[in-house]
Amino acid sequence: MKAGEIIDRIKSHLGVPWRDATYRDTFKTGGPDTEVTGIATTAFVTLDVIRKASAAGLNMIIPHEDTFWNDRDDQAVVAGDALYKAKLDLLTKHDVVVFRIHDHMHAQRPDFTYVGSARAIGLDPKQEDPPGSHRFVIPETTLGALAASVAQRSGSRALRVVGDPKARVSRIRLGVGYASPPINAPDIDVLISGEQQESDGTFDSQPYALDAATLGIAKGIILLGHTMSEEAGMLEMAQWIKGFVPEIPVQLVKAEEPMWGPAAH
Amino acid sequence: MPILYAGSTEWYNRSPMTQLSRREFAALTAAAAAAPFAFGEAPSAAVLTAKDLIDRITAQIGVPWKAETVDGLKAGDPATGVTGVVTTAMATLAVLQQAVKAGANVVISGEPTFYAKTDARTPPAPRGPDGGASAAAAPPDPVFTAKNAFIDQHKLVIVRLSDHWRLRQPDPLATGLAQAMGWTKYQVAGDARRYDVPALTVDALAAAIAKNLRASGGIRVVGNAKTTVRRIGLLPGSTPIQASLAQLPEVDAIVAGEVREWESVEYARDHVAAGHEKALILVGRVLSEDPGMQVCADWLKTVIPGVPVRHIAVGDPYWRPAR
């Protein structure tokens, strides 16, 4: 089966129109004529993911994120880098075709990144109110207890929290990746998301939560990291593709959490 | 043990106090009370206003003042007489409270005060259904309201100094971070961002950074804990992939403030997976910039001799739950 046939099936099953204007959801290596032996979904096409996918006989990789360390996968940005050349050589050696699915994954309903993240951190879909809103109301707890639960369930080694651990919270807003609503929304106690610029952006939630804590106003932010936030949903993505590409193996090959935190002080 | 804040009051005491002892505070406060407008010995010395201070900074910063800049007055009356100056990476409410306790009424902040690059004293308009800003006014926001009230009550003046401070040579943020780490003597000649330190493992390096910067949970590491590193590159603040592409091949470890994870974190991870003995240590934007604002305080003392100038650290915004 050729990669182009798989992409055509993805487009026809997506449920939303394909936007050709996307610069993200395109081939990064290989192309529509590459013969595909199996599909790996993942957060990032890391060197390890390439090796693991190849070892499993999967030569099509569908990542949610970029391959060449910049969002546009502009290879001119990295052209002078020796590691870029080594990565490209490895992809070529294993005849890997990379097709990113990001914008359309977020446009799809449900957006699997939210589904996967809620599952990974233990948010019950029945607590999402209203459904599809990414808002969860849980029995009141403390930010400290909630963060400990999220860390334990996700297995994260590098999760970070802002806010007073004793703050009493119940209204959670889930964000994914780099997309997080402002923490100052009056109906949000805790934002759980992936990655968030710390300062100098359109709205700086971490500094706001710091000042809220100084004032005794219950606001918390739990940052899972970009991969931990979005990779879980690539399992749902693999299962979905498997449904209409039954001819070849389709599986999640995890990039895994890239970072660890030193022992706290 | 993770540092868990025991409540807002204790938490507030914990962070900025870490770098300014109570005795130093008392000394500053006492000096301010005894001679609130003591600007040097010269009898002709006039009261220095916030505007005078900004003018001196503009004239002496050493780089041409930009037409488009985030730097400048963010709150307060420029005609205010300066009683004391506090520099900080970010004018959080806790830092402002400590500044007032120290007898200062001008705060020089590296980052915004009002939670956005725009640094407006009012909350942003709520988003409309299409995701864009709606025409509706923002509802009252208790954090904005309280911060504004504190600034007004204490007649504080807040000035942002970021764009121009970063452009000074040698890089004051890297210089400060190296000073905080005790690495100044290891500087590679002519490059404030490069230090060849005695060899140590990545986990020892992370622990040393956590200790010296008084981190509580914001430090994150890409790389193998037992890899030995010696050549260190510093990228304080927020940096794009281009900075890592330029520096990581030349060093064993980068100590950075904030990067985009899909850029530099993945780049470093691929280096490690390729068998290169390298690491990337992220300390967080604010934590990485505060030592550079200590350097700013040292510089300001030469710009406004006779006026009390102190640095107050924000502290690590982050903590991590026990596992």
A12 touches chain B (CB under 8 A): no
Q: Is the pLDDT of residue B16 over 60?
A: no
Asked if A259 is an interface residue toward chain B (Cβ–Cβ < 8 A), one would say yes
For chain B, what percent of residues have pLDDT higher than 90? 80
* Contact A66/B at CB under 8 A: yes
Chain B residues with CB inside 8 Å of A148's CB? 321-322
Chain A residues in contact with B270 by the CB 8 A cut-off are 46-47, 69, 83, 87
Those residues with Cβ within 8 angstroms of residue A76's Cβ, 6 or more apart along the chain or in another chain: none
Which ranges in chain A are annotated with CATH 3.40.1390.30? Answer: 3-108, 112-226
Q: What is the pLDDT of residue B63?
A: 96
ipTM greater than 0.95, yes or no?
Answer: yes
Query: Which residue of B266, B272, B289, B316 to mutate against A (max A Cβ within 10 Å)?
Result: B266
User: Three-state DSSP class for B231?
Assistant: strand
- Are the C-beta atoms of A64 and A116 separated by less than 8 Å? no
- According to CATH, what is the number of the domain A112-226? 3.40.1390.30
Q: For B250-270, what is each residue's pLDDT tens digit?
A: 999 999 999 999 999 999 999
Residue B128's pLDDT is: 65
CA distance A142 to A209: 15
The CATH number of B8-168+289-311, from 1.10.10.60, 3.40.50.150, 3.90.1150.10, 3.40.1390.30, is 3.40.1390.30
Using pLDDT thresholds of 50, 70 and 90, give the confidence band for residue B219: very high
Which of A199, A225, A262 is the closest to B112 by Cβ? Answer: A199
Portions of chain B given CATH number 3.40.1390.30: 8-168+289-311, 172-283
Looking at the predicted structure, is the pLDDT value of residue B231 above 90? Answer: yes
The DSSP bridge pattern shows strands B106-111 and B85-90 to be parallel
Collapsed DSSP state (helix, strand, coil) of residue B292:
helix
Pairing of strands B72-75, B157-160: antiparallel
Residues B57-109 have pLDDT tens digits of 999 999 999 999 999 999 999 999 999 999 999 999 999 999 999 999 999 99
Q: How far is CA B21 from the centre of its chain?
A: 19
Pick the CATH number of B172-283 from 3.30.420.40, 1.20.120.420, 1.10.510.10, 3.40.1390.30: 3.40.1390.30
Q: Quick check: pTM over 0.80?
A: yes
Mean pLDDT along residues B106-134: 86
> In the prediction, which pLDDT does B10 show?
31
pLDDT value of position B4: 27
CA distance B110 to chain A (A): 10
B160 pLDDT above the threshold of 50: yes
- The arithmetic mean of pLDDT across residues B207-216, rounded, is 97
List, for chain A, all residue ranges whose pLDDT scores fall below the cut of 50.
265
Chain pair A-B, CB pairs under 8 angstroms = 217
Q: Architecture of A3-108 per CATH?
A: 3-Layer(aba) Sandwich (3.40)
Q: What is the pLDDT of residues A131-163, one digit of tens each?
A: 999 999 999 999 999 999 999 999 999 999 999
